[in-house]
Amino acid sequence: MTNQEIRQLAVWLKETHLAGAEIRRPGLHLVLKRSADEVAVPARVAVPEAANATDEPLLKTPGLGRLLLTHPEQSDVLASVGSRVEQGQLIALLQVGDLLLPVRSQRAGRVTAVLVPCGTTVGYGEAFMRLTD
């Protein structure tokens, strides 16, 4: 993780009034905390409902960043409602600072809904698209 990405995470913490964040990945353990006195609004954490992972038709984000459904230099949507996608197909981009990371479909299916508007800041594991077989 670059210093610029860490700075961007710190900005998001401040903008969303969160007291801290912890990211764990293979070879990376990052903890960012702000003073509790600086937090103006208590953060509300939504607990996801239990779901059967094998039957779950939702595609989820692989990390924290700004979800883009189009490439910044193109106007075509990568995967629109009604289109068929294959497993491993590029369906979105996750922008972290100046870095654009590919978001690929974890399964094949037809896109029935886009749950997050383009340009929304998303967290790890957040559902952003619904598929059907």
Mean pLDDT of the chain: 79
Lowest mean pLDDT among 10-19, 34-43, 111-120: 34-43
Is residue 128 scored above 90 in pLDDT?
yes
CA dihedral 109→115→117→119, nearest 10 degrees, is -70
Say how far apart CA 46 and CA 86 lie, in whole Å: 30
pLDDT for the residue numbered 45: 46
The rounded percent of the chain whose pLDDT value lies above 90 is: 38
42-89, pLDDT tens digit by residue?
Answer: 444 444 454 444 455 899 998 889 999 999 888 889 999 999 999 999
Q: Which long-range contacts (CB under 8 A, 24 or more apart) does 40-48 make?
A: 41/17, 43/16, 43/17, 43/18, 43/19
Class of domain 58-132: mainly beta
Q: Could you give the residue range(s) of every CATH 2.40.50.100 domain in the chain?
A: 58-132
Please name the residue ranges forming H helices in the chain: 3-15
Closest CA to 94 of 59, 53, 65: 65
Q: Taking the CB of residue 77, how many other CB atoms lie within 10 A of it? A: 16
The rounded percent of the chain whose pLDDT value lies above 70 is: 77
